[in-house]
Structure 1
Amino acid sequence: MTVPHIVILLVSLSQLECKDPALKCSIGDPVPIFHKSFQSGDLIIAGIISHIYILSNCITFGKHPSQELLDDIIYFSPSRTYQASMDLLSTRKRLMPNYKCDAKRNLLAVIGASDVDVHMVNVLNIYKIPQLTYGSASVVTENNQSPFSYWMLPNVAHQHNGILRLLLYFRWVWIGLFYLDTESTEQFIQSIIPSFSQRGVCFDFIQAFPDIGFSDGITEFVADRLEIYKMAMRSTATSLVVHGEIQTMMYLRTMYQVAKYDTAPIKTKGKVWIMTAQMEFTSLSFQRDWDMDIIIHGALSFAVHSEEVSGFFRFLQMRNPTLQKEDGFIKAFWQNAFLCTFPSFTAVSKDVQMCTGEEKLETLPAAVFETRMTGHSYSIYNAVYSVARALHGLHTFHFRPRTVADGGRRQLLNQQFWEVHRFLRAVSFNNSAGERVSFDQNRELISGFDILNWVTFPNQSFVRVKVGRIDPDIHTENLFTIREDAIVWPSMFNQTRPLSLCNENCHSAYSRRKKEGKPFCCYDCIPCPEGKISNENDMDDCFPCAEDHYPNNKQNRCLPKDISYLSYEEPLGVSLAFFSLAFSFITVLVLRIFIKHQDTPIVKANNQNLTYTLLISLLLSFLCALLFIGHPGKETCLLRQMTFGIIFSVAVSCVLAKTIIVVLAFMATKPGSRMRKWMGNQLAIFIVLFSSLIQAIICTVWGATCPPFPDFDMHSMTDAIVVECNEGWVTMFYCVLGFLGFLATVSFTVAFLARKLPDSFNEAKFITFSMLVFCSVWLSFVPTYLSTKGKYMVAVEIFSILASSAGLLGCIFSPKCYIILLRPEMNSRDQLIWRKR
């Protein structure tokens, strides 16, 4: 017996029928490859055109179309789709569902776009007929209504993620969104708004296109499209995302054409249109010469991943409408594409060019016909072969060798063609382009998306260049790839990457602050506070540098801090070291003078031992200042303050002893005074040793418990790390200073009270002046020391040591050196007795 012919309905948008036969219109690519036969027994797959009508007459702009023309418009009518679905289940030319007497016209599968297939699914599911969709599958997937649907488009979640990654890659965080108000876009809107917002993308507007099939009149028709165009052009967003279907491109082009003839046209701004994979370049006959540059040039779109099919271009070159008898629409397409007519197709006019059938498709501009296989065509191509493979599997399974009474002829078992699902789910093959075609557990094509860049030319042609890809099957890090250098941007951007921001970037040294009442992508730029930086654009907050770095003046970089300490290489260190050595030399010189003239009355009268001890302690105090200069070390830190404290205690206690001895000497001269027994060196030695011992005990306790140690001060100075001696137990440091202050106060008080006592050289008065200088220096030292930072604290302490020591040296010894060296006649016993009287 013969195998019956099995027909697969290809519901596509490859042709639109117009009421006016002279205005046959074509949308997108016809798919002539469908007419190729597949050798699986006598299986033949043929193409049948769905019942879709549009625009009874073609609208030309420059004058308004009449209201009557708009009244005849029927756009992608669901009722027509339901009618076609019922017709498929009826006998030809008779709308009688479930009654078929045509054995050669058995419906086995439907291949269609999403907007058509969504309406057909309600009818076809009853009969468990496979439906292969090459558009969005969001509605059917969400509601789980069609277990018999197969999608030649990968999971739309991958496309949504791809759009988000594309926006983030180019830092387009301020976008506008247009969408076709259909059921298939509901999930898209619900999905992208929260997910995009979570990743920092916000929307200037979210606008649905007005219903493309219904209008109250020409005024509303024009006004709706003009309003959409103005919204797009006035938006501060440069990146505009369009989620639509196959017919959406016609809407975009109509929208721009309407705006051209507005009485108050607005300035066209550069926009980058981002289109989803469900969209395709579609056009009506009257749109043939419309500009494409504004909408299409530089646009980016997603498309189901496709490859060049071997032999496809050669196949198109061989198309001839006079030879394709089985093709019911090729002549209509031919007439619209080449602007000619066939004698047998319509009434022939004198001015109408005749079609020869020898015209070449490759000579047509891309706006009329693309000779390259698009993503939709590639999906349909794979769908046809998938069904053919499934049928071949079903055919092989049901044909089994059986011996029967009629001579052993093979017979076909009683087939249920809905069983093709079993084989369709398991389809897995390499197509002629070398790519694997198979479905996942959700009956979605296992594939990715290409990112295309549209480039237009003045002759109404364009090319779509692959500049990236979304491939969900490879490692997550390589999910998104893009070649920015291959992208041609819209002309207004002069081939520089467009920006799509609510406001200008906040440059480095600034941070963002949200504007009240505005989306989070809109913000003000505020300078970084002192001590913080921002080194990138659009930072949410400034941040401090690491401890060993500091902000530069522009507050956009962190610079490494210099190591700072009072060194011998800098002028301040050299100056202090010079004065320290100079005063030491002067002190040695004074000591040499006093030793040389130790037998003179003036030297003997001032207690030689105290004088020598005081001069030696002053010499050591000048030299101990050198311990504060240079890189702090463990030993120098330990010696600095303790050496200074003990030496100065000796010096001040010597001054105190000299003052007390002066007072006692005056009191001992009174008749019957008991003070004579206190006169002598024993009292002076006791005062010096006792005072020095107390200071030594304080320093010993300090050194034994928590001694000074080298440390790094990261915070005192902005641009430097201060290497310093940490005082350890700070309380002990102030105890040392406090004890010195106590000795100085007692010495100053005693000297002040004794300043008017008769004395040959007025020793008490000189001591008073010296202690006044000493106390003034150290009283001013404390606040100055606490208010300075870094190495300047050390310099303040050195200066205080040198100044107070110099005050003692100058006030006490300079008058005596003056007499010894310049007035030797006054340095005699007679003169001394005379001055006492």
Structure 2
Amino acid sequence: MHLVWLTAWLALYIQFTASTAPTCQLKSLRVEGLKVPGDVIIGATFPVHENKVFPNRNFNDYPGAVQCYSFSFRSYRWLHAMMYAIEEINASPALLPNITLGYSIYDSCDIIPRGIEGVLWMVSGTDEVVLNYRCYAQAPLAAVIGDSASSVSIPMTNILGIYNYPQISYFSSAMSLANRHNFPTFFRTIPNDMIQSLGLAQLVKHFGWSWVGVLADEDDYGQGLSTIFKQEAQKLGICIEFLEKVPILYSESHTHRIVEVIKTSTAKVVVVFSWETYLYPIMMEIDKQNINEKIWIASEAWSTSSALSKNQVFTMLTGSVGFAIHRGEIPGFKKYLLGLHPLKSPNDIYLRIFWEEAFKCRWKNQDILPETENSTLSCTGKEELGKLENTFLDVSNLRMTYNTYNAVYAVAYALQNLYNCQPDKGPFVGGSCAYIKNFEPWQILHYMKNVHFRTWAGEEIYFDENGDPPALYDIVNWKPTTSGDIQYIKVGSYNSSAPPGKELVLIDSAILWPGEKKQVPLSVCSESCLPGWRKATRQGQPICCFDCIPCSEGEISSHKDSTECLPCPDDQWPNERRDICVPKMVEFLSYSEPLGIVLAVLSIVISVVPKSILGLFLWYRHTPIVKANNRQLSYVLLCALTLCPLCSLIFIGKPSSASCILRQTMFAIIFALSVSCVLAKTIMVIIAFKASKPGSNLHRWVGSRLPNTIACLGTLIQAGICALWLGYAPPFPQNNMNSQVGKIILECNEGSSLAFWCMMGYMGILAIVSFVIAFLARKLPNSFNEAKFITFSMLVFVIVWLSFIPSYLSTRGKYTVAVEIFAILSSSAGLLGCIFFPKCYVILLKPERNTRDFLMGKGSSTNKKK
């Protein structure tokens, strides 16, 4: 594409130079080149004039010359940065000693035809341009500095690339110029546009903005940068609410539509990739509609625009933040500029134009230029530059000027390396070197690729494999001045060569936001989800638009905008805010807590009662009421009822292997002994009554053998169940982390649930059998019918343990243990109270009933103590 286009231009130029008189050559008014001789020549093109007039197109005539006007003080300063750098180098004894640099400078007028003409003029080496010809009588051309516009630099580098001449641009930042295949000889001292797109995305991320709009010119600059920005923004989790194209050709309807989109958008931040010329109409309309709440993020194309920041026009741009080309300082440059004078440099054709434009005067015997045609004053040469206040003399923000200065030094250091080449150690065939006053373009190109030096300020200058320099941007903030204008203040920097994560350096406290606020404004589609919550994307909307949902039980999110909640480890649990995991509270029934203390005291108290009754029975062991129904069996039962409450103490305290094994087996065996004794006593009541009838054959069963056998057998069966349980799957301590929220329950795992419920079932069978037999014998004719009290005791026992089952299954943690202890104490107290309290009542309070006759229902008798 470029080669086809270039061929057309060259054909046109050949026809033009061959068919026209010298006076018709492409030399617009006062824009011929500026030459200064030297041992080595550095060429350059600058847009000394900003505006141009193209000739009328008539295909029957030869093309006319392009006329340039509107002298640019800013671009002319770039030109003098080159001249000043060459003066410094020529005066330096350390850099290129005994070698004088000359230059050839051409006004490109920022248009492609003049850029091509300037290149051909420099390559030919003569005033008369001859295609594919180089006058070797002239000093060699080392490189060409320029141009400013990428559209001009592209055809220039296509021509220079044919001959392997290096080209170093100070302002052409187009991404396409980094293509080494298409532009092998192109270098630049301004960063590649792609880098600022990446940097601006990081800047947006730095401020926590996730919801932005984008404006971009509808040319290669705007669309290329916005595409890279969008891709990087997506990687960083930033969403684009709108992306509008800024028209290059003004369109009122298009402008109004863009402003309406900006006005109705919810994004508070707008990133703009545009040139000030195209952006100006949109800003005019935004100002007209008084849209002040937006934050503008500027690309380098307009971040230092004087047209947008001066004359108190766009106050809504206050608080804007943007990337700007790195500002540098050139020592002594201001003094150099103030020393310029047309009489000192009579060959500087541009200096005379500058003087006329700066002082609004006209030199005598000089053609009238478009810029000065209305001037009435005559230039005297006595005008003082120091009294001027214009862009040319403003060295406070040297950006492109600084790039130009560095571009010249890059060529000089490349020449220095060529000059320092030692024979037989050179980089070319056979170790050969190039001669500084007669070298080939491809030889200096080799040194340009490898140039690496530091400026006086310590900044590194070199070119990567694509000819790009290390990207260094200033970050500027637009702040109001006392006069009502806006000034841009440096508040940070972006350095692509810094370590990862440290490219962006910002002084956040120095940034002034719209409304003169210091706090960073928000620009989000949805408010951030706090720790303890997670994001849930809204269906059909960008990922930046979401709802916040609290983390589920047992999960946390430790930072803002978490996309998922993470479960805590088994031994930890979320805190109330669910943003960190904290150790679970360890729970078990301990002696140090009120519940454990109460149950322990009750256990001891209840265990003391049967001991006291046992002592009472031993004291009155010869009385009929004690001797009735197997005195020894009563003693055994009282001992068992003493142990029953005490075995509950094993349930209190931190579970261990020993306590887990003992607590259930001791409880099971002792209670089996107790119930078996009750069962034996119940059977003996019936046998004793039946044996008292005449002709009964039950006399032989009366005595202690049968009840002892029943008590032992009932206990041994339970002991056998417990033995099988311990042998097959014994209980063991475990940390239960799941049964209760936020707690680790230290408990005893029963090992085998079947064995546990078999043990409980067997004890229940004993109790039910005792209850049934006692119930059947409750109406036996006796003044003191023990079967009646056994019935009540078994009724209490059965009710307690039937109630225990659902309570045991429905409680968790220490309360499960408390329920079992309560059942043990309740059933123990029930047995003790129902069976023995009536006897104690008779012994202590009704001794007259403690006789054999009374017990046999034969009336009262005096109490006899035997």
Interval of TM-score (by shorter of Structure 1 and Structure 2): 0.7 to 0.9
Change in Cα spacing, 1:436 to 1:570, as seen in structure 2 (3 Å) is closer
- Mapped to 2, the partners of 1:28 and 1:295 lie a distance apart of 26
| Superposed displacement of residue 590, structure 1 | 1.9
Residue by residue over 1:272-301, the C-alpha shift from the partner in whole angstroms, topping out at 9 and shown as x without a partner, is: 41425x6663456x9852535533644131
- TM-superposed CA distance for 1:818, in Å, is 1.9
1:13–1:27 Cα contact (<8 Å) kept? no
Residue pair 2:81, 2:404 contacting (<8 A) in 1 also: no
1:635 to 653, 658, 670: 658
Match of 1:10 among 39, 44, 52: 44
Distance in 2 (alpha carbons) for counterparts of 1:142 and 1:253: 32
How many Å separate the matches in 2 of 1:704 and 1:13?
A: 101
Q: d(CA) in 1 for partners of 2:379 and 2:752?
A: 108
CA deviations on 1:105-124 (whole Å, 9 max, x unpaired) are 98652422334312433444
Tell me whether 1:116 sits opposite 2:146 in the alignment. no
Task: For 1:655-666, list aligned pairs within 5 A.
Answer: 655-666=678-689
Give me the whole-angstrom Cα distance separating, in 2, the residues matched to 1:534 and 1:757: 74
CA contact (8 A) 2:216 2:272 kept: yes
Question: Are residues 1:48 and 2:82 paired?
Answer: no
State how far apart, in whole Å, the 1-side matches of 2:378 and 2:651 are. 108
Q: Is residue 184 of structure 2 the alignment partner of residue 163 of structure 1?
A: no
Is residue 423 from structure 1 mapped to residue 447 from structure 2 by the alignment? yes
Number of aligned residue pairs: give it: 781
Unaligned runs of 5+ residues in structure 1 are 53-76, 400-410
Question: What pairs up with 1:210-359 in 2 under 5 angstroms?
Answer: 210-211=247-248, 214-215=249-250, 220=251, 222-244=252-274, 248-261=275-288, 265-276=289-300, 281-283=304-306, 289-291=311-313, 293-295=315-317, 297-304=319-326, 307-319=328-340, 325-329=346-350, 340-341=360-361, 346-347=372-373, 357-359=383-385
Asked whether the equivalents of residues 241 and 267 of structure 2 are also in contact (C-alpha less than 8 Å), the reply is yes
Shift of 1:149: 0.9
Greater mean alpha carbon deviation, residues 150-159 or residues 534-543 = 150-159
Superposed CA offset, 1:528-562 (max 9, x none): 33343333221112333333333333434444333
Match of 2:586 in 1: 563
What pairs with 1:86-101 in structure 2 (closer than 5 Å)?
97-98=131-132
Query: What is the CA deviation profile of residues 152-193 of structure 1, one whole-angstrom value per residue up to 9, with x for unaligned ones?
Result: 245655544433433333222222223333335565455443
User: SS state of the match for residue 44, structure 1?
Assistant: strand
Q: How does 1:156-555 map to 2 (within 5 A)?
A: 158-184=195-221, 188-211=225-248, 214-215=249-250, 220=251, 222-244=252-274, 248-261=275-288, 265-276=289-300, 281-283=304-306, 289-291=311-313, 293-295=315-317, 297-304=319-326, 307-319=328-340, 325-329=346-350, 340-341=360-361, 346-347=372-373, 357-360=383-386, 370-391=394-415, 416-417=440-441, 419-446=443-470, 448-459=472-483, 460=485, 462-472=487-497, 474-476=498-500, 478=502, 480-492=503-515, 494-555=517-578
CA shift for structure 1 position 486: 4.8
Determine the C-alpha separation between the residues in 2 that align with 1:438 and 1:225.
42
Q: Is 1:151 the equivalent of 2:174?
A: no
Q: CA deviation at 1:25?
A: 5.3
Deviation at 1:684, TM superposition (A): 1.1
Cα 1:447–1:593 shift into 2, 3 Å? same
Please give the alpha-carbon distance, in whole angstroms, between the structure 1 residues aligned to 2:464 and 2:707. Answer: 106
Compute the displacement of 1:728 (Å): 2.8
Q: Quote the residue 2:82 is aligned against.
A: 34
Deviates more, 1:683-692 or 1:492-501: 492-501
The 3 A distance-change label for structure 1 pair 466 and 762 is same
Q: Does structure 2 retain, via aligned residues, the 8 Å contact 1:176–1:204?
A: yes
* Distance change >3 Å, CA 413–CA 555, structure 1 → 2: closer
The structural deviation recorded for 1:800 is: 0.6
Q: Residue in 2 aligned with 1:792?
A: 815
Contact 2:178–2:192 at 8 Å: present in 1 too?
A: no
Give the 3 Å change call, closer, same or farther, for CA 326–822 of structure 1 in structure 2.
farther
1:730 aligns with 2:788: no
* 2:839 match: 816
Q: 1:414 to 1:606 in 2, by over 3 A?
A: closer
Shift of 1:238: 3.2
Distance 2:650 2:355 in 1: 103
* Partner residue in 2 for 1:609: 632
Deviation at 1:648, TM superposition (A): 0.5
Q: Structure 1's 120 and 386: CA in aligned 2 closer, same or farther, altered over 3 A?
A: same
Distance in 2, Cα, partners of 1:318 & 1:456: 34
Deviation at 1:381, TM superposition (A): 1.5
Q: 1:537 to 1:702 in 2, by over 3 A?
A: same
Cα distance in structure 1, aligned partners of 2:378 and 2:851: 147
Residue aligning to 1:406? none
Pick closer, same or farther for the CA change 1:233–1:360 going to 2, 3 Å: farther
> Shift in Å at residue 617 of structure 1?
0.7
One-letter amino acid matched to 2:106: I
- Asked if 1:626 corresponds to 2:661, the answer is no
Q: Secondary structure at the match of 1:834?
A: coil
Normalised TM-score (structure 1): 0.83
Counterpart residue identity of residue 282, structure 2: M
In structure 2, relative to structure 1, the CA distance for the partners of 1:467 and 1:576 (3 Å cut) is: same
- Structure 1 residues 361 and 397, CA gap change in structure 2 (3 angstroms): farther
Go from structure 1 to structure 2 and tell me whether the alpha carbon gap of 1:325 and 1:224 turns closer, same or farther (over 3 Å shift): farther
Q: Secondary structure at the residue paired with 1:747?
A: helix
What TM-score do the two structures reach when normalised by structure 2?
0.81
1:621 CA displacement: 0.6
Structure 1: how far apart are the matches of 2:303 and 2:601?
A: 88
Question: In structure 2, how many angstroms separate the alpha carbons of the residues matched to 1:34 and 1:441?
Answer: 25
1: distance between equivalents of 2:471 and 2:580? 45
- Check whether the contact 2:774–2:787 (CA below 8 A) recurs between aligned residues: yes
Distance verdict in 2 for CA 1:154–1:275, change over 3 Å:
closer
Is contact 2:196-2:323 (8 Å) kept? no
Contact 2:45 2:108 in 1 (8 A): yes
Mapped to 1, the partners of 2:656 and 2:380 lie a distance apart of: 105
In structure 2, distance between residues paired with 1:810 and 1:35 = 119
Q: CA deviation at 1:24?
A: 4.9
Mark the runs of 5 or more structure 2 residues left unpaired by the alignment.
Answer: 1-35, 54-66, 91-95, 424-434, 861-866
Q: CA deviation at 1:654?
A: 0.6
Residues 517 and 560 from structure 1, CA distance in 2 versus in 1: closer, same or farther, beyond 3 angstroms? Answer: same
Residue type at the aligned position of 1:111: G
Deviation at 1:655, TM superposition (A): 0.7
Secondary structure, in 3 states, of the residue corresponding to 2:212?
strand
Amino acid at match of 1:385: Y
Name the residue aligned to 1:687.
710
User: What one-letter code is carried by the residue in structure 1 that aligns with 2:384?
Assistant: E
Q: What's the C-alpha RMSD, in Å, of the aligned pairs? A: 3.8
**Aligned-partner SS, 1:491:** coil
